[in-house]
């Protein structure tokens, strides 16, 4: 779970820099179970004194996981209980076990894409401003030689809202629908027989760039007073 931002993203509100956690602080908190049935479960987290030290806004966060046949739907909800706007973004970090090395698999995009990956630093994860191009493709063979030593494929501003994980022989493994998320990241631990397929709403900061207000960063969305921001993703397994 990534909230209130994805990756290495500094939080500056009204000129004050808050302590930063990679992928946000929500993943380091204990959620409560607010609803549960045979097919779904909802986890909740509300702002408190600890979260206010990292992120000054009031919020009520809910993540609902629902199963319907071979499909898992993950619904993200952030409610703003205050009388002022708040700002945030969501992101995912699911991983998929593979029967072999990553070079035996492809990512089939819904639409043809210009697959230019944003390069990042190995230590902080911040963007360098450099680009490595894999050209215009719809079916992208996972490059084992690139996915080493913590390197991540960072594809931004996609037209596709769905991808499929397939073997080279076109066997379908999973379909991931990420409507509402413009960026897709692919990563694995060094040498692991797995791939993370991550949909992010914002991207990391750039190395050396001037700090700006959190509300002004690309991909960070506003939630008006007493309103809820919702995003939903569905994963089908085969």
Does pTM surpass 0.75? yes
- The radius of gyration computed from the CA coordinates of the chain, to the nearest angstrom, equals 18
Q: Do 164 and 203 form a contact (C-beta atoms < 8 A)?
A: no
Segments in the chain below pLDDT 70:
none
Residues 6 or more apart in contact with residue 169 via CB below 8 angstroms:
none
Contacts of 235 (CB under 8 A, 6+ apart): 71, 72, 73, 74, 94, 174, 175, 176, 177
Apex 110 CA angle, 108 and 115, nearest 5: 65
Task: Give me the pLDDT at residue 20, please.
Answer: 83
Query: What is the distance, to the nearest Å, from the Cα of residue 110 to the centroid of all Cα atoms in its chain?
Result: 18
Give the pLDDT of residue 153: 98
DSSP 8-state assignment for residue 19: P
pLDDT, residue 213, reads: 97
């Amino acid at each position: 779970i990534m909230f209130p931002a994805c990756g290495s993203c500094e939080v500056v509100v009204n000129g004050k820099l808050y302590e930063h956690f990679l992928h946000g602080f929500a993943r380091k908190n204990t959620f409560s179970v607010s609803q549960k049935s045979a097919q779904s479960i909802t986890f909740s987290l509300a702002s408190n004194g600890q979260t206010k030290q990292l992120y000054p806004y009031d919020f009520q966060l809910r993540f609902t996981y629902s199963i319907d046949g071979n499909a898992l739907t993950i619904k993200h909800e952030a409610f703003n209980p205050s009388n002022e706007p708040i700002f945030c973004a969501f992101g995912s970090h699911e991983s998929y076990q593979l029967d072999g090395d990553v070079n035996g698999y492809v990512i089939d995009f819904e639409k043809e894409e210009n697959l230019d990956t944003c390069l990042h630093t190995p230590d902080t994860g911040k963007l360098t401003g450099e680009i490595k191009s894999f050209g215009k493709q719809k079916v992208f063979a996972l490059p084992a030689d690139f996915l080493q030593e913590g390197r991540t494929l960072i594809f931004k501003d996609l037209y596709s809202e769905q991808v499929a994980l397939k073997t080279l022989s076109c066997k379908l493994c999973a379909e991931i629908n990420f409507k509402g998320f413009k960026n897709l990241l692919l990563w694995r631990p060094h040498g692991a027989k797995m791939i993370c397929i991550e949909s992010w709403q914002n991207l990391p900061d750039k190395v050396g760039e001037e700090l700006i207000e959190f509300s002004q960063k690309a991909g960070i969305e506003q939630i008006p007073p007493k309103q809820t921001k919702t995003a939903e993703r569905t994963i089908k397994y085969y």
